[in-house]
Amino acid sequence: MALSSESRAKILNMLETLVIGSAGGLLFLWANLPGGLISGAMIAVGAAALAGRPLSVPAHITQTVLVLLGISIGSVVSRQLIQHMGAYPLTIGLLALATFCSTFGSSLYLQRRHGWDRTSAFLAGSPGALSQITILAVERGADLPAIAVVQTMRVIILTAALPLVLALTGVAPSAPPTMVMAVASPLELLELIGASLALALCLRLLKFPASWMFGAMIASSVLHGAGWVEGGLPPWVRGVALVGVGSLIGSRFAKMNAKVLVGHIHAALGSFAIAILISGIFVAVIALTTQVRVSDVIVAFAPGAMDAMLALALTLHIDPIFVGAHHLSRFVFVTIATPGIVHLFGRPQDDVDD
């Protein structure tokens, strides 16, 4: 059966996206830039998308990439599960407070400096949980394109700049002492993939956040932590997952109108600076009062998307279990708290000029 012209176009768009992402990731890797695969893929795809290319990553490819990422993260659990566990309650509590403060700080900036209405400003300032933020924006009549620009720019800047900042400041580990370098046997790989897919599907049915990634991560963690599986995915498969995540982030620009993007660029950069400044204060407090590695805290508190920050943790040799626990906690906090806060403090778009 011949493919329709629409199906062929989607396949070609996907292939173009992945080829561009792979080229960008390999270029950054060749240049020995930190986080090269994910950052290079994201920048290359984002640039091509802004140039007008109709780039996209289909849902089934996205799900595959997230499952591979989850398996890779879970593969290090046997060496990192206990590390910093005593600090989790304290740092997660401070993360909730940091999220609250940075969201309101960014919101006030957007209202006072750029004249945004309260609802749009608050939703734009909320880190992570983009799908829930989008739904709320539609329901409340908020400025969805403006919110999308601010949210996307924050993820793009963090994914591109965070590896360089960590490397230049000497904060990130210079060697991967805790990464699982061995490759699992074929039978163990089948066990990993089967268990990861099964749990991911179960979590998806339960509407668990980021179910594909966290289902695979939990299954892989249990198998490795119990000693039932030794080793992880081949390095090239981990590379494919990182390039896929970078390409996925970069492809977001394909859905943006260039005029809208330029019109809100100052709002995006300003609100990002406010969020980073407030988050940085909390990171400094934790770094000075606990034994947690500074690099772990920085990535755990970075107001970016879960998949991007976990991918960075994996490629920068930062504790992905610590980072994953904190980003999942923030996702739950934002998902639960945001609708109530918007209801109490926001206002519909048509009331802005009253």
Report pLDDT digits (tens) over 198-230: 999 998 898 776 788 888 888 988 888 778 888
Cα(76)–Cα(318) distance, rounded to whole angstroms?
11
Q: How many CA atoms lie within 13 A of 294 on its CB side?
A: 14
The band of 197, judged by pLDDT with boundaries at 50, 70 and 90, is very high
1 part of a folded domain: no
15 part of a folded domain: no
50 part of a folded domain: no
Cα(248)–Cα(95) distance, rounded to whole angstroms?
26
pLDDT of residue 194: 93
Q: What is the mean pLDDT of the chain?
A: 81
14 part of a folded domain: no
72 part of a folded domain: yes
Q: Structurally, how many domains does the chain consist of? A: 1
Please write the tens of the pLDDT for every residue from 60-72: 888 899 899 888 8
Most confident of 34-43, 170-179, 273-282: 273-282
- Name the one residue in this structure whose structure tokens are 């492809």: 251
23 part of a folded domain: no
Domain coverage including residue 138: 56-349
Please, which residues bridge with residue 183 across strands?
232
Q: Where are the alpha helices (DSSP H) in the chain?
A: 5-30, 36-50, 59-74, 77-80, 88-114, 118-125, 130-140, 144-168, 186-205, 211-225, 235-250, 258-263, 265-289, 294-301, 306-315, 320-345
Q: CA nearest 67: which of 287, 233, 300?
A: 233
The whole-model pTM stands at: 0.73
pLDDT of residue 202: 93
277 part of a folded domain: yes
